[in-house]
Chain A
Amino acid sequence: MTPKTKPPDAFSPGETPTFEVSARESLADAQLRRNLGKATQTIRRKRAVAVEEMPDWEELREAGRALKERTLRHLDTYLLQLEESVTRAGGVVHWARDADEANRIISGIAKDKGAGEVVKVKSIATDETKLNEHLESEGIHAFETDLAELIIQLAGENSSHILVPAIHKNRAEIRELFLRELDVEDLSDEPKDLTNAARLYLRKKFLNAKVGISGANFAVAETGTVSVVESEGNGRMCTTLPPVLVTLMGIEKIIPRWRDFEVFMQLLPRSSTAERMNPYTSFWTGVSEGDGPQEFHLVLLDNGRTDVLADEIGRQTLNCIRCSACLNVCPVYERTGGHAYNSVYPGPIGAILTPQLVGIGKPGPDSLPYASSLCGACYQVCPVKINIPEVLIHLRGKVVRHKQDKGTLRQKLDPENVAMQAMAKTFLDPKLYENAQRLARVGQWPFARGGKIRSLPGRLAGWTAVRDLKPVPKQSFREWWKEERG
């Protein structure tokens, strides 16, 4: 069977729709709204409990942030140290500047082993590089083995959540999918039956694959140990059964010392699945003779990360440990779901990571920093204290300055830009400002009916689609003040 490929996103060639266009579609999907609302509310509540029981949670967050910040400051040193440690332990380290280089390295290894099929365990980095599509073009079928990744691969869809890629689907939908795609005769929608069907299908894949491909949550510079944190055990099978293991890892995933796990292994499970400890944590250091894969390749991926590192405000984005707590608390994500972001990285973290990795100046990714009401719920839960609202605002500035300085004439004459310039000038001069207040009072008469405004023209129409607008009152505060106190 040929696995289905995923729809294009921000990391594919070509343009993607803006967030507001894609969000419209998701917002209208009642089943999706119900599935997402239920799932995010449940995990939110559970996370709050798991965090509440930690007396030193704030200290842990601060430690996580400080560790990440120091690591990123000395990333060059730690990366070389990691290369040395992994090599010493019998592994092979590859450096990939971009997605193409990473994909070619990995397909080269698979072809070298004569593998027509590879098994993969959840790795968002490989989704970022579009590895599956590349392998398919080289005649190699890649099979996802994480249950949720399997579900969306069978459906030919993109992940909609960092940790729970199939969060948008309920079990009735999954049952129908399995009946159609897995060639099973009878199936209930009980989680136990659904996982059993997946297990039977996946076991064969695990046992036959010559090459396993994984992502990494952490890699320790001092020891060369790579770690994957998961819930199902499929990751462990994928990283131990095939004779050859290839791990693709973003360069920011490095931690300096083994003992740093003390901090991150407390922060990650509680933030992501609201568990004190996750069910499966795998560690491997190079190769061990007669046990597990006898060949190990670590591919270190840049793909825009060093550009992010060069940005003083933006670089905190690289602190991310992919826990997805920010998605679960985000009021925007809860309603639009992950597909509206058109990126392998959805939600608040995706809204700041995607445009930084692919660069400013593309309509789809440029719309992502605006996919937020700046409510700050994400920053409050982030286990490594990424100030997401701050980075969102910073990126909005970059998007606007890019349009103003490098944009087309049409972008420069955009009504929003023109209005913003005019308002900024008005606010600089109290006389102009007071005139504008009076003008607003006069100018609103065509719209004001019976003490309220029910419809506005142009871009402001979105406001009056669902809300009335209060007309500008007869007297401003400053007019009252002058009259009473002046």
Chain B
Amino acid sequence: MRVALFITCFNDTLFPETGRATVEVLERLGHEVAFPEAQTCCGQMHFNTGYQREAIPLVRRFVEIFEPYDAVVAPSGSCVGMVRDLYPMAADLADDADLALRIADLAPKVFELSEFLVKRLGVTDVGAYYPHRVTYHPTCHSLRMLKVGEAPLELLRNVRGMDLVGLGEAEQCCGFGGTFAVKNAETSAAMLGDKIRRVLDTEAEVCAAGDNSCLMHIGGGLRRLQAGVQTVHLAEILASTEEG
């Protein structure tokens, strides 16, 4: 199986450690990972903020770059949601029937990391060791767009040494929402405040999620408060072993 890593521009630039961890987990499971270096951004920020004409060329690029692979894996539910759920809408807007057909072929091959591991490969134990108290925030796009369900939790339950604690009102949005966090900064902050309260209630030292965008928002708030809770991407927990 030719597996391509779709790193996402956000992780590429701001969270390279998540990309390295994703490669490590996939390689540990015996897969060869390709990184198509022409990739940049899937166009989500533009598309969701209304700059849809500007996003269409990015959609075309993405399809051209990734369609040769058997599977495309990204450590981000949100960017995968863009490709799977919103690319068809972009093709409609571009009034491009050929693009729509190519998207229909490509979209089912694009996976968020946890759903690729659990649903596509049938793996729930990746041999990870992580001796910390961890709570998990199921990000909205993983949960409601991709419907990854229990996949991330199944993976986390098999991590050795870890104390996994449930998060109250877990399914409620953290308030990130892309440009929402800037355009409606006060409302976003109010949502963040409640999410942080729930995280602190768990007394965990780590808050994990499958999307670094949400984690940057939650973690940014936790750090400002000197709350003593770290945010860590799911891929990094799965990549951790007793050897380090």
Contacts and interface: CB of A to CB of B under 8 A. Distances in A.
B35 A478 contact: yes
B51 A462 contact: no
Given A23-B186, A375-B173, A472 B13 contact: yes
Contact of B57 (A390, A428, A465): A428
Contacts of A137: none
The B interface is mostly helix, strand or loop, or mixed, namely helix
A374 B140 contact: yes
A400 B50 CA distance: 6
Interface residues of A, number: 67
A280 interface: no
Contact of B187 (A313, A335, A477): A335
B70 to A, nearest CB: 19
Contacts of A473: 14-17
Given A428-B57, A468-B223, A470-B216, A481 B35 contact: yes
B58 A428 contact: yes
A449 interface: no
B61 A376 contact: no
Contact of A370 (B51, B184, B223): B184
Contacts of B58: 424, 427-428
B14 A466 contact: no
Nearest to A469: B220
B192 A19 contact: no
A324 to B, nearest CB: 18
Given A373-B175, A470-B216, A485-B35, A396 B46 contact: no
A16 interface: no
A236 B221 CA distance: 51
Of B51, B187, B220, most A-chain CB atoms within 10 Å: B187
A375 B144 contact: yes
A416 B194 CA distance: 29
Nearest to A405: B53
A465 B187 CA distance: 12
B223 A430 contact: no
A96 interface: no
A377 B43 contact: no
B16 A475 contact: yes
A390 B61 CA distance: 23
A467 B50 contact: no
Interface stretch (B4-12, B126-134, B154-162, B200-208): B4-12
Contacts of B97: none
A377 B14 contact: no
Interface string B139-152: 01100110000000
Of B46, B54, B141, B179, most A-chain CB atoms within 10 Å: B54
Size class of the contact patch on chain B = 35 or more
A401 interface: yes
Nearest to A466: B189
Contacts of B51: 397, 400, 420-421, 424
Given A24-B186, A393-B47, A421 B54 contact: yes
A406 to B, nearest CB: 14
Contacts of A371: 184, 187
A172 interface: no
Contacts of B185: 20, 462-463, 465-466
Given A19-B184, A373-B175, A467-B220, A397 B144 contact: no
Nearest to A393: B48
A438 B130 CA distance: 33
Nearest to B18: A477
B86 interface: yes
Interface string B9-44: 101111111011000000000000001011111010
Nearest to B22: A477
Given A331-B191, A377-B173, A393 B89 contact: yes
Interface string A45-79: 00000000000000000000000000000000000
Interface in A166-220: none
Nearest to A482: B37
B141 A376 contact: yes
B176 interface: yes
B177 A375 contact: yes
A377 B35 contact: no
B217 interface: yes
A397 B13 CA distance: 27
Nearest to B144: A376
B173 A396 contact: no
Of A390, A454, A477, most B-chain CB atoms within 10 Å: A477
Contact of A373 (B19, B55, B173): B173
Given A20-B183, A373-B140, A485-B35, A397 B220 contact: no
Contacts of B45: 423
A237 interface: no
18 contacts: A23-B186, A24-B186, A331-B172, A372-B177, A373-B173, A374-B48, A374-B140, A375-B177, A376-B141, A393-B50, A397-B50, A424-B51, A424-B55, A424-B57, A437-B12, A467-B224, A476-B13, A480-B19
Interface of B: 7, 9, 11-17, 19-20, 35, 37-41, 43, 45-55, 57-58, 61, 86, 89, 93, 140-141, 144-145, 171-173, 175-194, 216-217, 219-221, 223-224
Ranked nearest first, the 5 interchain pairs of A and B with the lowest CB-CB distance are: A462-B185, A373-B177, A467-B220, A396-B50, A400-B50
Given A336-B190, A372-B180, A481-B35, 19 more contacts: A20-B183, A23-B186, A370-B179, A370-B183, A370-B184, A373-B175, A374-B48, A416-B49, A420-B54, A437-B13, A440-B13, A466-B221, A467-B224, A468-B220, A476-B13, A477-B16, A477-B20, A478-B12, A479-B16
Interface of A: 19-20, 23-24, 27, 33, 313, 331-332, 335-336, 369-377, 379-380, 390, 393-394, 396-401, 416, 420-421, 423-424, 426-430, 433, 437, 440, 452, 454, 459-460, 462-463, 465-470, 472-473, 475-482, 485
